[in-house]
Amino acid sequence: MSELTVENITDVVLQQMSTTPNARQKEVLGVFVKHLHAAAKEVRLTPSEWLMGIDFLTKVGQKCTDTRQEFILLSDTMGLSALVHLMHDKTAVEHATTTSLLGPFFRENTPRYKAGEQIAKSVKGKEVVLYGRVSDAHGKPLANAEVTVWQTAENGLYDIQYQDDPDVRGIFTTDANGDYLIRTTAPVGYSIPMDGPVGDLVTSQGRHGMRPAHIHFLISSPDYRELVTALYIDGDAHIADDVVFGVAGELVVKIVDHDPACPIQGASSVRYDFSLSKASEADKMSGRVGADPAAITKAAAAAE
């Protein structure tokens, strides 16, 4: 056995891990170990700093529940989720609408609505109509596409943060022309949950925890890549410094006061046309960078 040194330990570890039968697992963990070791060497990581890291990750895990995913929040605030989105968009077989974060407030439990129905039930705010078309990458309208939306109410909170019943979220279906029509209230910018280890970290870095006002969309149609995105409201103070790096220029929209083309008159509105890429073989795997936190805890418990 050769003696371990700072110089050879990475190769020794990779050699021992080379028996991993799953090729992709071998590649991902091998590269991860390589970069982890390189980072530890570059910063000359001390034992107390190493322990601080272990302590931090332990607290992140302890904060995770059926309604809170602190690890996703960590990934989001470090820009990892946004990076995975950017890379995923490049693998689409056709050019489609840019994706954005699913975030921790997506819920499987979402009511279905008919076109034009109001999704904000318990908290009143400025009414806004969302309308537009869902098409394929060549402009062909997609009828019966499923359009799921969720957002903050006027109070700057998602339903789960103030009540059990789903609110300001809904599933709509496009009509024969591929058009969707949603009545909601204006979303409000908000702070990500800051009462945990990730919030402490963000604060320690001198950063704020704000996201600009936005509306989440998840759009699906058979044989097309599912689109996970969000529309960001122009003029919000945090459009340029979103704490989780979700904003793309293409996704910034204006709330228009009087749009003569809007199918519902008398309210402000946003028109946005979405396009979906054809699904590839790889798109049979989920492209969602996120999940309902309850689904993650359930899967972890089932694997025990």
Contact residues for Fe ion (CB under 5 A)? 103
Report residue 194: phi and psi, to 5°: -105, 0
If one counts every other C-beta atom within 10 angstroms of the C-beta of residue 215, the result is 24
Residue among 10, 60, 76, 188 that touches ligand BEZ (CB under 6 A): 76
Closest distance of CB 183 from ligand BEZ, Å: 21
Is the Cβ–Cβ distance between 63 and 297 less than 8 Å?
Answer: no
Tell me how many residues contact ligand BEZ (CB under 6 A): 9
Is the Cβ–Cβ distance between 107 and 170 less than 8 Å?
Answer: no
Closest distance of CB 45 from ligand BEZ, Å: 28
Q: Determine the residue with CB nearest ligand BEZ.
A: 103
- Is 168 a binding residue for ligand BEZ by CB under 6 A? The answer is no
Site string for ligand BEZ, 38-67 (x = CB under 6 A): ------------------------------
Please enumerate in sequence order all residues whose Cβ is within 8 A of that of 229, keeping only pairs 6 or more positions apart, or say none. 97, 98, 99, 100, 216, 217, 218, 219, 251, 274
CA distance 229 to 216: 6
Which residue do the tokens 């919030």 mark? 199
Closest distance of CB 1 from ligand BEZ, Å: 47
Report residue 191: phi and psi, to 5°: -90, 140
If one counts every other C-beta atom within 10 angstroms of the C-beta of residue 52, the result is 12
Site string for ligand BEZ, 207-236 (x = CB under 6 A): ----x-------------------------
Site string for ligand BEZ, 183-212 (x = CB under 6 A): ---------x------------------x-
Piece of 100-108, 125-133, 161-169, 259-267 that binds ligand BEZ (CB under 6 A)? 100-108
In the three-class reduction of DSSP (H, G, I as helix; E, B as strand; rest coil), residue 37 is classed as helix
Residue among 64, 74, 101, 129 that touches ligand BEZ (CB under 6 A): 101
Site for ligand BEZ, rule CB under 6 A: 73, 76, 101, 103-105, 192, 211, 244
